[in-house]
Amino acid sequence: MSPRHIIIVGFGLSGRTTVNAVIEHHISYTVIEMNPATVERCMPGGLNIIQGDARDAEILRQAGIERATDVAVTVPTDDVALEIVELARKMNPTARIIARCTFVSGGMEASKRGADETIIAEQVVATEFGRMITAALER
């Protein structure tokens, strides 16, 4: 089995949390981030980060898509995430792709385009509301 390599698309809160977990496990990774200021700020600290749009096949190649075992698409915009999922799946049919989506409908579309797993904000929020109201009712 070849060594793991994870591509994390987006370096907001979700991307940073993902990178921290990957670093803790000493796994090879590359972050793709669109914001040049973020990339410039993070590179001196040793973060393996490149600036670019993951909807561009060349950027995915620079990040190591051919050898990627996992791709975490953490960007907050469903349309962008769906395009990235589709391209990543075409370029690497075996990588495990996890996509962030806002609504269940976006998660279903991400699955159709090749995501193995989805994290759907609408479901996470619903779960938290249920948990909080249950706790309040039990007081």
Residues 6+ apart with CB under 8 A from 30: 5, 6, 7, 8, 48, 49, 50, 62, 63, 64
What would the mean pLDDT of 119-132 be, rounded to a whole number? 96
pLDDT of 1 reads 66
At residue 6, φ and ψ (nearest 5 deg) are -115, 135
What are the structure tokens assigned to 134, written together?
A: 């249950």
What would the mean pLDDT of 116-124 be, rounded to a whole number? 97
Is residue 7 within 8 A of residue 15, CB to CB? The reply is: no
pLDDT of 71 reads 98
Nearest alpha-carbon partner for 96 in 26, 2, 6, 3: 6
| pTM for the predicted model, two decimal places | 0.93
What is the rounded distance in angstroms from the CA atom of residue 117 to the CA atom of residue 79?
A: 17
pLDDT band at 2 (very low <50, low <70, confident <90, very high): confident
Nearest alpha-carbon partner for 70 in 26, 111, 115: 115
